[in-house]
Amino acid sequence: DTAVSQTPKYLVTQMGNDKSIKCEQNLGHDTMYWYKQDSKKFLKIMFSYNNKELIINETVPNRFSPKSPDKAHLNLHINSLELGDSAVYFCASSQGASGANVLTFGAGSRLTVL
Amino acid sequence: GQSLEQPSEVTAVEGAIVQINCTYQTSGFYGLSWYQQHDGGAPTFLSYNALDGLEETGRFSSFLSRSDSYGYLLLQELQMKDSASYFCAVRPSNYQLIWGAGTKLIIKP
């Protein structure tokens, strides 16, 4: 029973292509996040949704578009992929406004742009 | 700006004790968390301090001093499986979490 599951685990694609990553959580949490971790392992918040409402939208190229159809799902679509988009993308979830201290992460989706 | 500072790398011997420090400078403070990440894996929550003092969870303990904007993670009886990166993170406001750059813990037999 995976708590936060994201697919696919690996993506290898060419520059200019479009790709999507899906995330689902079965913890009953109301807040979900997308993080990017680069090769230096720095974790950078990209987006956060609370009950389908966008609450955090960091400085991210508008080629990245999140969508949350319901509070258990958060997807990430990336248009016109660039070499610099290569990274591991983590989905995470938490409960409530004060719950951000305790995040549950998915296993990650490693994106390689060639 | 908001920032967290932690050592980039710490080396210790199996069976020993190691402390990983974290100092923070944030606009608000609603708790300091610690996460562990093994190579190729996802960050996993370890502990959380909202108030000053020591929190103990098995071999791991975490300490907070809000007046010093400082905390640390203490790992006792080190095992090879503890080799990982450890991240501190501070919640300055609702929903937000500011992360340190991570400390790579190397354990030698």
CA distance B25 to B64: 14
How many helices (H) and strands (E) are present in chain B, helices listed first?
Answer: 0, 11
In the numeric block, which tokens belong to residue B3? 């920032």
Residue A1 has pLDDT above 80, yes or no: no
User: Shortest CA distance to A64 belongs to which of A43, A42, A87?
Assistant: A87
Average of per-residue pLDDT values in chain A: 94
For A43, which of B44, B95, B99 is closest by C-beta distance? B99
Average of per-residue pLDDT values in chain B: 96
Q: Are B75 and B17 in contact (CB under 8 A)?
A: yes
The residue of B29, B95, B96, B99 whose CB has the most chain A CBs within 10 angstroms, and thus the best one to mutate to test that interface, is B95
Identity of residue A50: N
User: Shortest CA distance to A21 belongs to which of A89, A76, A69, A97?
Assistant: A76
In the numeric block, which tokens belong to residue B64? 């907070």
CA distance A39 to A18: 21
Q: Hey, which residues does B88 pair with through a beta bridge?
A: B34
Answer whether A102 touches B (CB < 8 Å).
yes
Residue B11 has pLDDT above 90, yes or no: yes
User: Shortest CA distance to A9 belongs to which of A113, A90, A108?
Assistant: A108
**Residue B67's pLDDT is what?**
97
The residue of A74, A89, A103 whose CB has the most chain B CBs within 10 angstroms, and thus the best one to mutate to test that interface, is A103
Report the share of chain A in percent with pLDDT over 90: 85
Contact A105 B44 (CB under 8 A): yes
Contact B97 A103 (CB under 8 A): yes
For B91, which of A44, A56, A100 is closest by C-beta distance? A100
Q: Model confidence over B25-34: pLDDT tens digits?
A: 999 999 999 9
For A98, which of B30, B42, B45 is closest by C-beta distance? B30
Q: What DSSP state is assigned to residue A109?
A: E
Answer whether A50 touches B (CB < 8 Å).
yes
How close, in Å, is residue B1 to chain A by CA atoms? 15
**Residue A40's pLDDT is what?**
87
Residue A99 has pLDDT above 90, yes or no: no
How close, in Å, is residue B43 to chain A by CA atoms? 6
Residue A71 has pLDDT above 90, yes or no: yes
Contact B85 A41 (CB under 8 A): yes
Indicate the pLDDT class of residue B68, thresholds 50, 70 and 90: very high
Residue A96 has pLDDT above 90, yes or no: no
How many helices (H) and strands (E) are present in chain A, helices listed first?
Answer: 0, 11
Q: Model confidence over A17-63: pLDDT tens digits?
A: 999 999 999 999 999 999 999 988 899 999 999 998 999 888 889 99
Tell me the chain A residues in contact with residue B33 when contact means C-beta distances shorter than 8 Å.
Answer: 101-102
Residue A2 has pLDDT above 80, yes or no: no
CA distance A4 to A77: 18
Burial class of B4 by CB neighbour count within 10 A (0 to 12, 13 to 18, 19+):
buried
**Residue A58's pLDDT is what?**
86
| Mean pLDDT for the stretch of residues A87-108 | 94
User: Residue A97 in 3-state DSSP?
Assistant: helix
In the numeric block, which tokens belong to residue A85? 């988009």
